[in-house]
Amino acid sequence: MNLPSVPSSHDNIAALSSGQGLAALAVIRISGPKLKDILGRVLSDGGCLRKPRRLVLDQVLDESGEVIDQVLAVFFPGPASYTGEDMAELHCHGGRAVYGRILQRLFALGCREALPGEFTRRAFENGKMDLTRAEAVMHIINARTPQQVKAAARVLTGKFQQRLENLRRQLEEALAVAEALIDFPDEEIDFPLEAELESLAKELGEIRKSLFLAGGGAVEIAILGRQNVGKSSLLNRLAGRELALVTPVAGTTRDAVRFRTELAGREVEFLDTAGLSPKPADELDRLSQEKTRKDARQAALALWVFEATEFTPPPDWCSRPILVANKIDLLEKKQKEGLEKEVLSRGGVMLSALSGEGVENLLEKIAQRLEEEFGPQEGIPVSWQQAEAIDNLVAAIRRAKDEFHHNQLLITAEELRRAMGELGRLLGQEVTPDVLDMIFSRFCIGK
Amino acid sequence: MNVPRGTVEVVVIGAGHAGCEAALASARLGVPTALVTFALDKIAAMPCNPSIGGLGKSHIVREIDALGGEMARAADFAAIHFRLLGASKGPAVRARRVQCDYLAYHRYMKTVLKNTPGLMLIQGEVTEIVVDGGKVTGVELASGQRINCKAVVLTAGTFLRGLAHVGLESYPSGRLGDRPANRLSQSLEKIGIYLGRLKTGTPPRLAAESIDFSDLEPQPSDPWLTFSQEPPPRLLPQVVCYITRTSQATSEVIKNSLDRSPLYTGKITGRGPRYCPSIEDKIVRFPQRDSHQVILEPTGLASGVVYPNGISTSLPADTQQRLVSSIKGLENARIINFGYAIEYDFVRTCQLSPTLACRGMEGLFLAGQINGTSGYEEAAGQGLIAGINAARFVQRKEAITVSRSEAYLGVMIDDLINHEITEPYRMFTSRSEFRLLLREDNAWERLAEISERVGLVPQAAVQSRQAVEQDIARCRQLLRSLLAPAEPEKDGRRPTLEEKLRRPEVTIQDLSVFLDEQFAQQVLERVEVEVKYQGYIQRQIQEVKKLKDLERKIIPEATVYQDIPGLSAELCEKLERIRPRSLAEASRIEGMTPAALMVLSVWISGRRVPRGTGKS
């Protein structure tokens, strides 16, 4: 009854070819009939399209035209390519933050994540590879895939798995009711479907909040403050090594430097920013400050760093930052005590990025805030496909609810079926419910 | 009666709904056909609820009409009560349903059969299907007479080793008042066809004049819509149905009699349908309900018999009497026929091919309840396909198949063949994954191509149906090109009528005044559905494309799945057992993964299989 999710040969596919984890370079492969169009929209210049089979410097842009990364792009017009159709490679900077965002952009432009072995399958189907080689590749991929599936499944353990299972039962019931209302219009089916759909939507909203993408996005924590207050030193201290450039010259950091780590069971990404000043010195300065504001707004959490000797309040647009008084190594004992009252009473911390004193407190504070904002630690990292599945699931339930309100029963049922499919993807199983079974075991209907 | 050799090429066994469609189709296609039945007086009988249509079923009836079958017209002719189900729930889920005068239905069909040239009606019992070297050569009757033929369509319904149960009494019966066909089952087993056992049930029949309707809720007819595109003139008056309910007393009566119920004492071995539960099923499984709805339906204008829909039962006779009397309005009701359950043989459908031919044998086709379905409509649909293909087999033409993306006929046949039947199969719209495409209103559009290839629909009718399609296209074109008057601009221009129609509160009636052409109601409604559901329809069309891609990838019959690298042992075992014909069928196997499908896809591409065409 449910349509199987079979990969179509007409889709545009994209995937990371190499460079998982921390590596200097990552390569993203894209293949498909609409490739040229997609490249034209994702790249700033598109020079690779004019000069095929050459690595051409370019930039990948996000939906607002901001640069995600500088890349080397190469375009292979089909049929002279690996897959036999139009293909491209984007060589970008390694690190999940970067390639993750590039992939996300590609998905937004109409690609989907390639399944294991899919590039090879296309290569074979287009006659670029003989059967023996293709089978050999398939064999390896399939041997690995159960492992990958297991790995993905391991991620969904415990309470989260339980929640999803409960969701599935609720969804099954809603679907059974919708189907019964269609196929048995005469029967007395007493079930508050609209309320049930409300409850499903709410539960999904909760689940979605506690998820975050692994391999593409973590909880972002922006380190903000005026110039030269020690933001970069703090970042370096957190990273345990030199990531950001620190010089006594104010305003050294122009662009954001990021550091990803795990904190209290969550993936977090610290974001160093260009120092804010009430009066930007020049155009470049103004631009980098704009960028800082943007980054800060996108971040889940902000640290407002200031020199312990001189308290400066955070700007208005910065909502609920954690106050961080830095450079306490420069303070006299009496000043310290005075400051403690100010800062600690506001839930802030006092530390010295230079000496390391107090940094532990900061990490604790951050963990606490994350717990408050994002719910219990069982927040689970999920893959692209799972994240996409959740988004689709949320959208489907929402539409089911709206359409039911308008008495469009068929659409309600269709959206609920779609939702079940997405839930199946999420749980890593093909969920093909026996709808009739569900209906007849619940309702006394039929004549 | 002697049938000279060579005069008959197709023999249809059984004149139920499947048999009638099969015989008509075969004869109309120019192949000399004989229809053999126990009783000519029982042609196209309606042994259970005398109704045609409902969700899923009416879709099949419309498809039968699209392909040139007869049921739609018969139902239109014999209808005495009409309802449009689901009318308020969105245009794509409505379904027509009629109550028929069962005698009128029978007379109509019998008349059509008698007036069909090339069709011979024979009263008798077929006791053996004669097979020689894997080919059907004829049938033998109980009288000793033999009819030679090239193809047989078996549509024996519930007659195969039929066993009726009333209480703990049971007696051989094909159907109420008819004897069963026992020797035929043996004949089938002899030629290698294996059978299963199913059960179905029916309620008692009541004398209309003994029912007190005065305090019951009436259910009058809705404004009428026909099943057929070319319906016969409407002659019969409409009647009113009545609604009543069981009571606490009813539940008590039943609970106290379960020890004498053939179902609950295990006397019946076949499994009954979940969607047509007996009243004892309902009481046992849902004890918290203290009353169940019963709809009193007249079986004919002058029959004097009422069919109480909702109290199917096989409890003993005295219990049935007490049960009936405990229902409001039926306190003094007289039972004319007691309700009974019937157990019967059916043919396990893995032996069928998508053309309804029996695999491994030439010239044998099976259709109807004998394939494990329930319902007149489901039977008729199969009968039509089987009859067409039997005729084409004789004419050495390629058989036709219907895909599940084209029609409910296709969903039904595909489901039957690919799933094990454990209860009688009834069509529901939820069985289809393409409900937005398979609507009641577009049956002709979906099947036009196949229908024209088959050639059963007379040319005049084809032309008028095509004219309707052209009207629809023109209407849509108008909506697309005309701007909505008195509408504010959006994105620099005024919206078109089509864009306006997309809004939920706007109906086609609101906009038809702006069209300079008058369109038929049928046309306007079709256009409305297509515009309002356009997004979803498009999405399903994409999914159909995907499915068709998969259907085209044929898996060679001799495939040894163990040889394919990269398939799990579990999947291999399932594939070996089920032996899917195409990637589409493989993809529906439980546990199939996209990765494994890819492996299969690579494997069969490498074997360079010629495109299969579904020949039987």
**pLDDT of B513-533, one tens digit each?**
888 888 998 899 899 999 989
Lowest pLDDT segment from A354-363, B108-117, B281-290: B281-290
Reported confidence tier of residue B613, pLDDT bands at 50, 70, 90: very low
What's the whole-number average pLDDT of chain A? Answer: 77
With CB atoms and an 8 Å threshold, state whether B433 touches A1.
Answer: yes
> Which of A3, A188, A409 is nearest residue B93 as measured by Cβ atoms?
A409
Q: How far is CA A184 from CA A439, A440, B89, in A?
A: 10, 11, 12
The CATH fold of domain A219-374: Rossmann fold (3.40.50)
Q: Residue B308 is encoded by which pair of tokens?
A: 């109480």
Distance CA A222, CA A331 (A): 25
Query: How does pLDDT run across B34-69, given as a tens digit for each residue?
Result: 999 999 999 999 988 899 999 999 999 999 999 999
CB A12 within 8 A of CB A442: no
> Which of B285, B292, B598 is nearest residue A7 as measured by Cβ atoms?
B598
With CB atoms and an 8 Å threshold, state whether B596 touches A7.
Answer: no
State yes or no: pLDDT of B551 exceeds 50.
Answer: yes
Chain A positions touching B297 (Cβ under 8 A) are none
CB B407 within 8 A of CB B415: no
Chain B positions touching A404 (Cβ under 8 A) are none
Enter the pTM of the model. 0.75
User: CATH 3.40.50.300 residue ranges in chain A?
Assistant: 219-374
Segment B411-425 shows an average pLDDT of 88
3-state secondary structure B103-167: HHHHHHHHHHHHCCCCEEEEECCEEEEEEECCEEEEEEECCCCEEECCEEEECCCCCECCEEEEC
Instruction: Tell me which of B31 and B492 has the higher pLDDT.
Output: B31
Chain A positions touching B277 (Cβ under 8 A) are 444, 446
Please provide the DSSP assignment of A291-348 as one string: HHHHHHHHSSEEEEEEETTS--PPPTTS-SPEEEEE-GGG--HHHHHHHHHHHHHTT-
Maximum mean pLDDT: which of A13-17, A170-174, B78-82, B230-234: B78-82
Segment A86-90 shows an average pLDDT of 94
Instruction: Tell me which of A38 and A153 has the higher pLDDT.
Output: A38
The reported pLDDT for the residue numbered A4 is: 44
Q: Which residues pair with A268 in a beta bridge?
A: A219, A261
Maximum mean pLDDT: which of A202-206, A245-249, B269-273: A202-206
> Which of B276, B293, B595 is nearest residue A145 as measured by Cβ atoms?
B595
In this structure, CATH architecture of domain A12-129: 2-Layer Sandwich (3.30)
Count of beta carbons in the 10 Å neighbourhood of residue A210:
16
The reported pLDDT for the residue numbered A230 is: 87
With CB atoms and an 8 Å threshold, state whether A3 touches B565.
Answer: no
> Which of B275, B592, B597 is nearest residue A446 as measured by Cβ atoms?
B275
Pick the residue from chain A with its C-alpha nearest to B425.
A436
With CB atoms and an 8 Å threshold, state whether A138 touches B599.
Answer: yes
Chain B positions touching A409 (Cβ under 8 A) are 86, 89-90, 93
The reported pLDDT for the residue numbered A39 is: 93
How far away is chain B from the Cα of A12, in angstroms, using its nearest Cα?
A: 15
The reported pLDDT for the residue numbered B360 is: 86
Query: How does pLDDT run across B111-169, given as a tens digit for each residue?
Result: 999 999 999 999 999 999 999 999 999 999 999 999 999 999 999 988 888 888 887 88
Please give the helix or strand (H or E) that residue B96 lies within, else none. strand B95-100
| Percent over 90 (pLDDT), chain A | 15
Q: Which of residues 118-147 of A touch B (CB under 8 A)?
A: 118, 121, 124-125, 131, 134-135, 138-139, 141-143, 145-146
Reported confidence tier of residue B379, pLDDT bands at 50, 70, 90: very high
Q: Which of residues 266-305 of A touch B (CB under 8 A)?
A: none
Please give the helix or strand (H or E) that residue B10 lies within, else none. strand B10-13
Which of helix, strand or coil describes residue B212? Answer: coil
CB B80 within 8 A of CB B298: yes
The reported pLDDT for the residue numbered A246 is: 52
With CB atoms and an 8 Å threshold, state whether B430 touches A115.
Answer: no
What does residue B85 show for φ and ψ, rounded to 5 degrees?
-85, 150
Pick the residue from chain A with its C-alpha nearest to B294.
A447
How far away is chain A from the Cα of B371, in angstroms, using its nearest Cα?
A: 20
Pick the residue from chain B with its C-alpha nearest to A178.
B430
State yes or no: pLDDT of A247 exceeds 70.
Answer: no
User: CATH 3.30.1360.120 residue ranges in chain A?
Assistant: 12-129
With CB atoms and an 8 Å threshold, state whether A444 touches B292.
Answer: yes
The reported pLDDT for the residue numbered A212 is: 57
User: How many Cβ pairs within 8 Å bridge chains A and B?
Assistant: 148
> Which of A142, A407, A408 is nearest residue B595 as measured by Cβ atoms?
A142
Segment B569-579 shows an average pLDDT of 82
CB A65 within 8 A of CB A105: no
Segment B487-501 shows an average pLDDT of 83
Q: Residue A99 is encoded by which pair of tokens?
A: 């390639």
Q: What is the ipTM of this complex?
A: 0.83
What does residue B191 show for φ and ψ, rounded to 5 degrees?
-90, 15
Pick the residue from chain A with its C-alpha nearest to B549.
A8
Query: How does pLDDT run across A45-76, given as a tens digit for each residue?
Result: 989 999 999 999 999 998 888 888 899 999 99
Best of B85, B88, B93, B254 to substitute, by most chain A Cβ atoms within 10 angstroms, is B93
Q: Which among A44, A57, A53, A45 is positioned nearest to A91, based on CA atoms? A: A57
State yes or no: pLDDT of A425 exceeds 70.
Answer: no
Best of B593, B600, B601, B603 to substitute, by most chain A Cβ atoms within 10 angstroms, is B593
With CB atoms and an 8 Å threshold, state whether A436 touches B430.
Answer: yes
Segment B312-323 shows an average pLDDT of 89
The reported pLDDT for the residue numbered A130 is: 67
User: CATH 1.20.120.430 residue ranges in chain A?
Assistant: 138-210+381-427
The reported pLDDT for the residue numbered B412 is: 96
Maximum mean pLDDT: which of B47-61, B350-364, B385-399: B385-399
With CB atoms and an 8 Å threshold, state whether A1 touches B504.
Answer: no
The reported pLDDT for the residue numbered B96 is: 92
In this structure, CATH architecture of domain A138-210+381-427: Up-down Bundle (1.20)
What type of residue sits at position A210?
S
The reported pLDDT for the residue numbered B271 is: 62
How far away is chain A from the Cα of B570, in angstroms, using its nearest Cα?
A: 13
Q: How far is CA B345 from CA A391, B42, B272, B426, B431, in A?
A: 50, 21, 13, 17, 25
The reported pLDDT for the residue numbered A90 is: 93
Lowest pLDDT segment from A72-76, A356-360, B353-357, B609-613: B609-613
State the alpha helices, DSSP H only, in B333-418: 376-394, 408-418
What does residue B104 show for φ and ψ, rounded to 5 degrees?
-60, -40
Best of B437, B598, B599, B607 to substitute, by most chain A Cβ atoms within 10 angstroms, is B598
With CB atoms and an 8 Å threshold, state whether A6 touches B587.
Answer: yes
Count of beta carbons in the 10 Å neighbourhood of residue A286:
13
The reported pLDDT for the residue numbered A384 is: 59
Segment A120-140 shows an average pLDDT of 70
With CB atoms and an 8 Å threshold, state whether B93 touches A182.
Answer: yes
Chain A positions touching B274 (Cβ under 8 A) are 436, 440, 446
How far away is chain B from the Cα of A180, in angstroms, using its nearest Cα?
A: 9
The reported pLDDT for the residue numbered A3 is: 43
State yes or no: pLDDT of A160 exceeds 80.
Answer: no
With CB atoms and an 8 Å threshold, state whether A409 touches B90.
Answer: yes
The reported pLDDT for the residue numbered B579 is: 81
**Residue owning tokens 């864009």:** B499
Pick the residue from chain B with its C-alpha nearest to A124.
B602
Residues 6+ apart with CB under 8 A from A53: A74, A75, A76
> Which of B276, B536, B602 is nearest residue A138 as measured by Cβ atoms?
B602
Strands B195-202 and B169-172: unpaired
With CB atoms and an 8 Å threshold, state whether B430 touches A411.
Answer: no
The reported pLDDT for the residue numbered B612 is: 37
Residues 6+ apart with CB under 8 A from A147: none
Segment A229-254 shows an average pLDDT of 66
| Percent over 70 (pLDDT), chain B | 95
The reported pLDDT for the residue numbered B25 is: 98
Chain B positions touching A116 (Cβ under 8 A) are 595
For residue B32, cis peptide bond before it (omega within 30 degrees of 0): no
Q: Which among B499, B428, B84, B504 is positioned nearest to A403, based on CA atoms? A: B504
Lowest pLDDT segment from A253-267, B79-93, B584-598: A253-267
Q: Which among A97, A36, A47 is positioned nearest to A69, based on CA atoms? A: A97
Segment A162-187 shows an average pLDDT of 85
**DSSP3 helix / strand / coil % (chain B, rounded to 5):** 40, 20, 40
With CB atoms and an 8 Å threshold, state whether B55 touches A4.
Answer: no
- Which of the 8 DSSP states describes residue B271? B
Chain B positions touching A407 (Cβ under 8 A) are 88-90
Count of beta carbons in the 10 Å neighbourhood of residue B615:
11
The reported pLDDT for the residue numbered A245 is: 52
With an 8 Å Cβ cutoff, is A110 touching chain B?
Answer: no
Chain B positions touching A185 (Cβ under 8 A) are 55, 85-86, 89
Reported confidence tier of residue A86, pLDDT bands at 50, 70, 90: very high
The reported pLDDT for the residue numbered B205 is: 93
